[in-house]
Amino acid sequence: MKALKNERGVTLVEVLAAMAILSIILVSVMNIFPQMGMMNTVNEDKAQGISSAKELLLEWQNNNEVKTYISNPDTTILLSLVPPQLEDGFYIFETTHGEFTGNIKIQQEPSKTSELSNAHLIIVQLLNDKNKIVSETYGYILI
């Protein structure tokens, strides 16, 4: 009964302790928001990169100019593409798609792992502005 009749209120020390505890909690929670925003940006780039890589793969698989070049590697055939580099048995074309730059690697010789004798492996790698791979996909070009 005596505790219920106590009307002194809270002391200054109790108020300061409560404010200190609350500020520690708020600061730790506020540090989470920038990290969540950064992760959202990274995930958005990955999703956009995956979509762009698949679009590029389909584009290159259906490009008659590329098919003609692979069957007859003559730089005069390439009208709209920059002649590729040759590295480790792959033709390497550089490309841009939206905000991404990338490499299109097409196997020089038909793939031995495919059941089709005229299938050339194609690898699409998209890079962000920091030259880190955002997305990578592969498929086959039938010649």
User: Would you say 111 and 28 are in contact if contact means Cβ atoms under 8 Å apart?
Assistant: no
Angle, helices 12-30/32-61, rounded to nearest 10 degrees: 10
Tokens (6 digits) for 49 = 């990169």
Residue from 117, 85, 78, 65 nearest 140 by CA: 117
Q: Confirm whether 7 is domain-assigned.
A: no
Residue from 74, 76, 48, 79 nearest 63 by CA: 79
Q: Confirm whether 25 is domain-assigned.
A: yes
Tell me how many domains the chain contains.
1
Q: Is the pLDDT of residue 98 over 60?
A: yes
In angstroms, rounded to a whole number, what is the distance separating the alpha carbons of residues 81 and 62?
14
pLDDT tens digits for 46-69?
899 899 899 988 988 888 888 888
pLDDT of residue 73: 76
Q: Confirm whether 68 is domain-assigned.
A: yes
CA 134 to chain centre: 2
Instruction: Flag whether the pTM goes above 0.85.
Output: no
Mean of the pLDDT values across residues 27-52?
Answer: 87
Domain around 58 = 12-142
